[in-house]
Amino acid sequence: MSTAPAPIEVLHADASLVVVNKPVGLAVHRSHMTGAEPDFLIALIRAQTGRTLQLAHRLDRATSGVLVLAGDREVAGELGRQFMAQTVQKRYLAVVRGHVADEGTIDHALDAPGKPVPQPAVTHFRCLARVELPIPLGRYESVRYSLVEARPESGRYRQIRRHFKHASHHLIGDTSHGEGRHNRFFRIRYAVHRMLLHASSVSLRHPVSGEPITFSAPLDPAFLRVIDAFGWREALPAPL
């Protein structure tokens, strides 16, 4: 007997916008990669709100966090112009392998499915916290991890995941671009079966009023389990 999907957390709603906290593991729309999967976010939130909403941007199935939806095509067009002009500021939280620098920029062009010519892609980051555990893994006598805040300028295919792989700081839980030994370590030790990447906030101008507005999404229990295990709670940006 199938159960109805849990309601999606709505962070903000007005006549023009609906902003939700996308759960991990849920595709935002139907595609050739979702196959016959019955549930995807845009259909669920339309049914939940009774509104004909439009996606303003996208998040990977494996990523959680802030997702902005437009109330109509005109609003979607205005939001699309903001995203294309790169005036929307998106911030992500991620747990990565190794100790990253205090701050930095990854400037590395990326291709995409069906688009083999790499396009410019830039991700800025800062390290919020680090940990080293005296646990041997592979050829090392200890394991090191960092909590980072990433701010992508562009929105290329799996940009943050692929940029941190390029920098040899693979995201924990990333089964496509990550490092299997560390993923298994987190599954066994912390019961974490998700990729540790969360869209923590989105800042833009309201498509009708033009006022600057920021939306923030809380972390889910699995992500918080790692935060608390490493003593990183105070390192989280407010209001997380």
Active site positions, annotated: 60
Cα angle 233, 146, 61 (rounded to 5 degrees) comes to 85
Q: Can you tell me which residue has the tokens 């494996």?
A: 62
Quote helix, strand, coil % in the chain, to nearest 5. Answer: 20, 35, 45
Q: Which residues contact 186 (CB under 8 A, 6 or more apart)?
A: 172, 173, 192, 196, 226
Which of 138, 126, 147 minimizes the C-alpha distance to 231?
A: 147
Tell me: cis bond preceding 239? Omega within 30 of 0 counts.
yes
